[in-house]
Chain A
Amino acid sequence: MPGLLELQRSFASHLLGQPGASPEWAEGRSLSALAGLRIYRNNARATFERALELTYPVLQQKVGTDYFRQLAYHFRAAQPSRTGDLHDIGRRFPEFLETHLAGTPYAWLAGLAALEWAVADAGVDAGGPSVGVESLAALPAPELEFVVLVLAPSLRLLHSAVPVLSIWRAWQPDGDRRSIDLDEGSEFVRVHRHSNGVMLRAIEAREFAFVVAMAAGSTLGAALDASQLPLALLPAVLQRLFIDGVVSAVHPPGRPR
């Protein structure tokens, strides 16, 4: 008779593969071994699908249950669950879709999935305190160029060639589900954990580049240079970051971070 590890490997092969002959270690009485294994196989598949549906509700609605389950089937075959935390099951779904749907009319769904993962992942982030714009205003003007803004750990920045945020908003429970032309253009999206939930904001390309640079630890001056954000737009961009609660701390030049 098999040892525990050998038994679990054999059991697993019945859960992942197709129904075959009844394994020698199983004893069927009123319930046959194959019928029992089928229950476990269905449970594991259904749990995986359900976890994905909870993380990707808009994608599931857009493609319909049948096609979503096909995608889940292929994703599970390529990237089975590695963890007992159901939240993590969908972590690599966007990159899977990017490969799986490449070259098809549905390739854009990978961008929608990336947005939904950002929302789900930011949603379980602890969040944290944010600081107001006064902490920046208190600094001498000559120092501002060398200031570093520490941004919220939950911050996610996404760029999609199609308007995924508009689609996502239209398919929320209170959305109008209007049809959105994929050719409407690209969107740059900022996602972060806010005190009242997850905040999503569409931002302009240069503002996006500026926040990307800030998130990488650049000083204000370096981020301006890297993003080519016009100086005239900087006050409004900074105000949005502070008012939205994206800034966790302000590090003046020469102070330890």
Chain B
Amino acid sequence: MPNVTSDRARGRSLPARAGVGLRSAHFADFASGRPDVAFLEVHTENYFHRGGHEPALLDRLRTDYPVCLHGVGLGLGSAQELDRAHVAKIAAAVRRFEPAVVSEHACWANVDAVHFNDLLPLPFTDEALRHLSGRVRELQDRLERRVLIENVSQYVRFGHSTMSEGEFLAALVAESGCGLLLDVNNLHVNAVNVGFDAKDTLDRLPPDAVGEIHLAGAVRREVDGQELLLDDHGSRVSEATWALYDQALSRFGPVPTLIEWDTDVPPLDILLDEARRADAALAVCHARAA
């Protein structure tokens, strides 16, 4: 097990309520008021630089809200050398903003010095598991804290995978000591596009490991004559994803839940409306657990 310090000892913990992703379209709302959300999540890379409006705003907001740093550019599963300069910038952001949660993705992003700036899928093999586990351990040791790892949407399935996604993520938790950020929408997208039972994946994940849930919208598109779901974070959460979220809460209990919206970002009220719906589901879950 890595040398991991409790998240709670390093800052504010997340309440099992709904938060939203802080996006530039809503800076004015948060600068001028205190919208009723339980926490804020930002993309870590947007806070790599010391100056500018965003870091200054987050410095102020983190006195009112617990903050999560969600990395999108590290590509932990990339087979070649880990970008340690990038890790150092994450560490600097963690020192500055003292987040309640630090998260990354179970993905790769770069090879042979070309970075694709995307969350590219890993095969679910022993080799990929060993590699990703080692990288997660290294990151956790560097940050001296547990990191949550998020499942990504997949539009390609690898023929040589020897595990299901649920088995892979459960083994990652066991081997690295990380927690999981369960993106319920990604799970739904994958289940629809690739064709598997999402409930089976939920059942394979260790309940204590799930530290945060993401909810987002997806869009149905035709690609090369095939209809599929694209994880575009550009619409309300679908009813199918809400239903899967209820199943996730039944299995994992009340878990801090983020409403993610990255494209065609609407007025904040729409996100708050989605957050209230998540809060209602969490309230039912809290009552059940009491």
Contact = CB atoms under 8 A, between A and B. Distances in A.
Interface of A: 1-5, 7-9, 11-12, 15-16, 24-40, 43-44, 47-48, 51, 80-87, 89, 123-127, 154, 193, 197
A136 B173 CA distance: 60
Contact of B158 (A26, A38, A80, A124): A26
B135 to A, nearest CB: 12
Contacts of B78: 8
B49 interface: yes
B45 A39 contact: no
Contact of B52 (A16, A43, A48, A123): A123
A31 B52 contact: no
The 4 nearest A-B residue pairs measured at CB: A84-B73, A126-B50, A124-B49, A36-B155
B51 A123 contact: yes
A8 B79 contact: yes
Given A84-B72, A84-B73, A86-B45, 14 more contacts: A2-B160, A4-B131, A8-B120, A12-B112, A26-B158, A26-B159, A27-B158, A32-B224, A36-B157, A36-B193, A83-B73, A83-B83, A84-B74, A84-B83
Interface stretch (B103-111, B139-147, B202-210): B103-111
Interface in B147-171: 154-160
A225 B45 CA distance: 44
B156 A40 contact: yes
A182 B160 CA distance: 59
B155 A31 contact: yes
Nearest to B123: A7
B114 A82 contact: yes
Contact of B160 (A1, A48, A85, A123): A1
B269 interface: no
B203 to A, nearest CB: 21
Interface string B115-142: 1111010110101100100000000000
A37 B121 CA distance: 11
25 contacts: A2-B160, A3-B79, A3-B127, A4-B77, A5-B79, A7-B123, A8-B111, A8-B120, A12-B114, A15-B116, A31-B193, A36-B157, A37-B156, A44-B116, A47-B117, A80-B114, A80-B115, A82-B114, A85-B73, A85-B86, A86-B117, A87-B48, A87-B49, A125-B50, A127-B50
A81 B116 contact: yes
B115 to A, nearest CB: 4
Contacts, number: 152
Contacts of B86: 83-85
Contact of A127 (B51, B111, B223): B51
B123 A38 contact: no
B118 A43 contact: yes
B158 A39 contact: no
A4 B127 contact: yes
Given A38-B223, A81-B116, A124-B50, A31 B128 contact: no
B156 A33 contact: yes
B199 interface: no
Nearest to B127: A4
Contacts of A124: 49-52
Contacts of A48: 117
B254 interface: no
B68 interface: no
B69 to A, nearest CB: 14
Contacts of A12: 111-112, 114, 116
A26 B89 CA distance: 34
Contacts of B114: 12, 16, 80-82
Nearest to B79: A5
Given A30-B193, A30-B226, A84 B113 contact: no
Contact of A9 (B53, B112, B116): B112
Given A37-B156, A85-B45, A87-B49, A44 B118 contact: yes
Interface string B222-250: 01101010100000000000000000000
Contacts of B158: 7, 25-27
